[in-house]
Amino acid sequence: MNLYLPKQVILATLLTTFLYSCSKGKSSPEEPTITPTPEETLREKYSKSSAQWPVAEWYKNIEIRELAALPKNPSNDKVELIALGKALFFDPRTGNGLKTCASCHNPDTYWIDQKTTADGIALHHRNTPSMENVWYLEGNLFHDGRAKTYREQIAEAINSPIEMGGNTSSLSSKLMSIPGYVDLYESAYNNKNMTIEGLLDAIAAYSRSINSGQTAFDRFVQGEYKALNDQQLEGLHLFRTKGKCINCHNGPYFTDLDFHNLGYAVTNKGALDNGRFESSKLEIDKGKFRTPGLRNISNTAPYMHNGSIATLSELVNLLSQGMPQKTDQQINGILSPHIQNLRLSSKEQENIIIFLSSLSSEPIKTERPILP
Ligand code: HEC
Ligand code: HEC
């Protein structure tokens, strides 16, 4: 009973204060009594399914595709076919005996060579792209999308005098004389009669089997809302809003699979690289390249189709200023209207770069095959 009275007193005091403030609120509207509900924090806004995230800043006429978790690779090739393709991928005899596919697409370094431009039989004018998730690129292979099929793309790599210097018209007869290859071929196709198409399809099957792994970003999208730290979360928001990156880098692989001119279409010899124009012959395609995916982007420097940009900070700084040209650099074609002066602060640029690091996965260890 002793405690009862003071409680009553407290309640009475609270009630008086409440009534007083209400009446005060009525007489002077400039002092509102209802405190507004605090705004959701950025983390609260993103701790939801991606369909409920804050609206992204899309340019007009862009097909809206939200960022998404890594999907399952739908390729369903026979293991024996993949095994034949893997042997060919690591075998210098697939080319002229000097280079293998893995000389440039090195599995220990995220399937790249870490060089500005590839170092083949001769010096290449383009940077080596990763092999991860290439199944997704069928129809648009190479930086300019000129190869529609794997057969086309792989035959070019083998025959190219700046890549492997090989010869697809004699490859099957050359390999038929190696009993181990006849066995591998027979397991893959139930047939000893090697054809070049059969060999190219095996390399394609192996290529399609190469994936990137799970990332912090994937865990975040799947509901583990602590998987991104505060800076990464800020970066994700900037990537979708002020940075405008999502307009081209979208979907589960962070690419629209479309072609854009970012103004750096030059070769390592300083000549203009026509990009998409080379295969389409359309004037509007001059200097356009396919939007690259961004998974494991922190692990695959240098950047761009020509490896001309060494670091992510250099690139994001240029993007922030609308890709200004370097001294003496000429622009080939017309800069994309979606590349603009965004004026991202250095802190904002840093947050975007730290967000990009959440797209990294552990390298998947690849055993070298025993060659026949
Ligand atoms: C000398 C280094 C080198 C060798 C050897 C090489 N590649 Fe490449 N690869 C490249 C370069 C450079 C490109 C980009 C060329 C371009 O866009 O014009 C590329 C592109 C590709 C692509 C397209 C990826 C994309 O993002 O569009 C695939 C797939 C590929 N190579 C697989 C292979 C296979 C399979 C072999 C072996 C038969 C091979 N490469 C041999 C350097 C090499
Ligand atoms: C207009 C479309 C577009 C926009 C907007 C855009 N990009 Fe890109 N991005 C591309 C294209 C196309 C390339 C390849 C250009 C080349 O190879 O010359 C590229 C290249 C890159 C690369 C190098 C990838 C590699 O493997 O070499 C990174 C990283 C990148 N962009 C990040 C971003 C970020 C971060 C933003 C936002 C600040 C952004 N991009 C905005 C289209 C775009």
Q: How far apart are the CA of 101 and the centre of ligand 1, in A?
A: 7
Buried b (16+ CB within 10 A) or exposed e, 7-43: eeeeeeeeeeeeeeeeeeeeeeeeeeeeeeeeeeeee
SS3 per residue for the chain = CCCHHHHHHHHHHHHHHHHHHHHHHHHCCCCCCCCCCCCCCHHHHHCCCHHHCCCCCCCCCCCCCCCCCCCCCCCCCCHHHHHHHHHHHCCHHHCCCCCCHHHHCCHHHCCCCCCCCCECCCECCCCCCCCCCHHHHCCCECCCCCECCHHHHHHHHHHCCCCCCCCHHHHHHHHHCCHHHHHHHHHHHCCCCCCHHHHHHHHHHHHHCCCCCCCHHHHHHCCCCCCCCHHHHHHHHHHHCCCCHHHCCCCCCCCCCCEEECCCCECCCCCECCECHHHHCCHHHCCEEECCCCCCHHHCCCECCCCCECCHHHHHHHHHECCCCCCCCCCCCCCCCCCCECCCCHHHHHHHHHHHHHHCCCCCCCCCCCCC
pLDDT higher than 50, residue 281: yes
pLDDT digits (tens, 9 = 90+) for 201-260: 999 999 999 999 999 999 999 999 999 999 999 999 999 999 999 999 999 999 999 999
What confidence category does residue 27 fall into, taking pLDDT thresholds of 50, 70 and 90?
very low
Q: How far apart are the CA of 209 and the centre of ligand 1, in A?
A: 16
Fold match flag (43-67+213-359 vs 79-208): yes
> Which of 86, 106, 128, 138 has most ligand 1 atoms within 8 Å of its beta carbon, as the pocket-test mutant?
128
State the average pLDDT for the chain.
91
Cα–Cα dist 88/198, whole Å? 12
> What pLDDT does 364 receive?
85
What confidence category does residue 10 fall into, taking pLDDT thresholds of 50, 70 and 90?
very low
Each domain of the chain, given as residue ranges in start order, spans 43-67+213-359, 79-208
> What pLDDT does 227 receive?
98
Q: Does residue 303 line the site of ligand 2, with CB under 6 A?
A: yes
Q: Does residue 355 line the site of ligand 1, with CB under 6 A?
A: no
> What pLDDT does 30 receive?
61
> What pLDDT does 17 receive?
45
Name which residue sits closest to atom 22 of ligand 1, judged by CA. Answer: 142
Cα–Cα dist 257/148, whole Å? 13
pLDDT digits (tens, 9 = 90+) for 308-359: 999 999 999 999 999 998 877 888 999 999 999 999 999 999 999 999 999 9
Q: How far apart are the CA of 234 and the centre of ligand 1, in A?
A: 35
> Which of 84, 110, 116, 142 has most ligand 1 atoms within 8 Å of its beta carbon, as the pocket-test mutant?
142
Q: What is the mean pLDDT of residues 82-107?
A: 97
Residue 62 CA: which ligand is closest? 2
What confidence category does residue 67 fall into, taking pLDDT thresholds of 50, 70 and 90?
very high
Q: What is the mean pLDDT of residues 352-370?
A: 96
Q: Does residue 103 line the site of ligand 1, with CB under 6 A?
A: yes
What confidence category does residue 177 fall into, taking pLDDT thresholds of 50, 70 and 90?
very high
pLDDT digits (tens, 9 = 90+) for 118-141: 998 888 999 999 999 999 999 999
Q: Does residue 318 line the site of ligand 2, with CB under 6 A?
A: no
Q: Does residue 124 line the site of ligand 1, with CB under 6 A?
A: yes
Backbone φ and ψ of 259, nearest 5°:
-115, 135
User: What CATH number labels 43-67+213-359?
Assistant: 1.10.760.10
Name which residue sits closest to atom 23 of ligand 1, judged by CA. Answer: 142
Cα–Cα dist 98/61, whole Å? 48
> What pLDDT does 5 receive?
44
Please give the CATH topology (third level) of the domain spanning 79-208.
Answer: Cytochrome Bc1 Complex; Chain D, domain 2 (1.10.760)
Among the ranges given (182-186, 213-217, 269-273, 288-292), the one the predictor scored with the smallest mean pLDDT: 269-273
Q: How far apart are the CA of 292 and the centre of ligand 2, in A?
A: 7
